[in-house]
Structure 1
Amino acid sequence: MRRPAKLAIIGEALTFIGVSALVIGAALFTVALEQGDWPASSVGSLAVAFVGIALIVVGAALSRAGRAELRPRSLEPHKVPERVAAHSDAG
């Protein structure tokens, strides 16, 4: 498997784990607020949620970088060599 494909797969996995951590952290925070245990257990649940957000950001960046490298070169904008561009302008 090529390196860009691995980057994209790892990025997608990190994004999935991050979303899961964010949901779990939000649920734990909600439960802590309902039980009135504000400072003690809610801080840990917020930490889990923020770690989830960080994993989402890192995973999305890795996934985007991997997919950008996998894109075929034919889809890139057409690049004209400098000397061809110079001859066409001289005309």
Structure 2
Amino acid sequence: MKPPAKSTLFRMRQTAQLAAETIEIAQDARVRDGEIKHPMPDQVRKRDDYLGTVRLIDAVLSSQAIIDLLKQRMSAMEILATDIAAPAAEEGEEP
């Protein structure tokens, strides 16, 4: 499987917001149409989780110090990943 492409906090926030709205709209429609009496608890929890992700991203984006720290950590993770991949590639080479 291809590794996930790079994303941005803004795109992740928008995706989480849209997912929460989709769940809410679907559950409201099912209640309105009489399919169910109340929104399904597991769907409400998922919606709440997505909205929690939105709030978390909003908190991160509100602080330049956190953004700078995240950039630093992401860069360190990329360096670590290349340090680990290089010896693995060397081990696979035939003499």
- Give the alignment's TM-score, normalised by structure 2: 0.48
Higher relative contact order (CA 8 A, sep 6+): 1
Q: Which one has a larger percent helix, Structure 1 or Structure 2?
A: 1
Largest Rg, 1 or 2: 1
- Give the alignment's TM-score, normalised by structure 1: 0.49
